[in-house]
Amino acid sequence: MVRIPACHAGGREFESRPDRQQKKALNALLGAFFMLLSVVYTLVINSFLGSVCCTFVAQYCVLLQSCCTFVAQILIIMASVKLKLKTQSVNKSGEYGIVYEIIYKRKRKIINSGNRATLKQWDESTSNILTGPKKGLHPGGVKLKIALQNRLAEITEAAMLAELKKLPPDEFFAQLENQTKSLSFFEYFQKRIDELERAKKIGNARVYRLVLSQLKKSCNDLPIKQVDYNYLYQFKLARLALANSPNTIRLYLRTTRAVLSEAVRSGVLEVNPFDTNLMPPAKTTAKRALPYYNILTLEAASLKGTKAFARDVYLLGFYLRGMDFVDLAHLTAENIHGNRIVYNRIKSGQLLSIKINAKAMAILQRYANRHKTFLLPILDKPKDLNPDNYGTRYRRIKNNLQALGKDFCFDLNLTTKTNRHTWATVAKYRGVSRDVIAECLGHSVRGVTDIYLKEFDDSVLDDANDLVCGEQLCCL
């Protein structure tokens, strides 16, 4: 049997046209065989049994013949629906589109499911995503797996009904397209929010939910394929009329563009209607870096209770190259490797390795054994398992930092982000190059330059951090 390559489908391949023709002939013969068997069985029974039981047996044979006819019709149906990975295109994360491949009356149609998966997240035996507690499996979980299987069953049922109604391929495929067209913009937006939450990207999901709420206040819902430049422009005008700042409007539009871009990647849209001219000019934000003498003030302050803990969390983030609060909160003993902290940024997944200097070590030792899981007693459970608990603890530390800023009469509002900005600004004033600063903060360097330049050794990054946090540093 001749086979040709096809989309990845868990080791499955679809047959060439001669194979399908052979299968059709075989199925037709099987159907005819079942029908002939029922007729012969009826004749034999009529010949050897008396007239008393003949009527009963004849009725039984009619039922058998009807069943065989139905089986024959099912066997002859040539519609084939499979769930596959579309391996012809892959995004930067190594994810392929999950599609439904439909072969109906020798014509092939691909319908995007709107979901993606890597090869490691794909189960070859079931042609569906892999789920379970193992790390690296698909974040959609059992809920998405069942949804994909249900949609597969719906398309298969539709194909069988179309075959029985003898619908031509173009008409059947048009019916399936109309189902996709009925998806509204707000429904797809909410679908993206649900996907982010399943992927444990709680912060991004919160931003998307905010933008969707503003869209609902400013615009009417409509089919996603009808979203165009004018629709997005009206959204921008509505936000300007409400006196939103340019940067706020940029956030709304960036998020909307991201949703539309994902719709293109998943096959729901053919072209992204977003135009860069929609973006208002960015407004330079106020400076968020503290002068270094404010850091010295915090170090020297004699504090107790929750304010002392908020101060220590703030300074520890500063000492660890401006580590984000969410990463600090999730540090465990497993992140300690000798005199270094090795961790993946929750925001980007980038792997960073930071030397633990003397000041950072003093804070870590101060809170050693305060929590059975985390290095710092901030969270009870990981953020993705209890987002409400994370938000409560974050606001508590944030409020204490703001109170400290007022107590010491700092010119800037003290937040969990200013230590990161302060670290970068101090490094810049001490002569550290922008490339080293970017790598210390875990920022990706874009462009061709990143391909040609080697990453800096850990010693270069350690020296930069020592220069920023060292006691020999003068006040700025």
Residue 79 CB neighbour total at 10 angstroms: 18
Residue-wise DSSP of 394-457: HHHHHHHHHHHHHHTT-SS---TTHHHHHHHHHHHHTT--HHHHHHHHT----STHHHHSPPPP
- Checking if the pLDDT of 229 tops 50, the result is yes
Domain residue ranges in the chain:
17-76, 80-181, 185-278, 292-469
CATH superfamily of 292-469: Intergrase catalytic core (1.10.443.10)
Query: What is the spatial distance between Cα 293 and Cα 333, in angstroms, rounded to a whole number?
Result: 32
- Checking if the pLDDT of 359 tops 90, the result is yes
- Checking if the pLDDT of 42 tops 80, the result is no
How is domain 185-278 classified at the architecture level of CATH?
Orthogonal Bundle (1.10)
The predicted model gives 421-436 an average pLDDT of 86
pLDDT at 405: 92
- Checking if the pLDDT of 34 tops 70, the result is no
End-to-end Cα separation, the chain, in angstroms = 78
Least confident of 270-274, 334-338, 358-362, 403-407: 270-274
Average pLDDT, the chain: 77
pTM value? Answer: 0.54
Decide: 266 and 116 in contact? Cβ < 8 Å.
Answer: yes
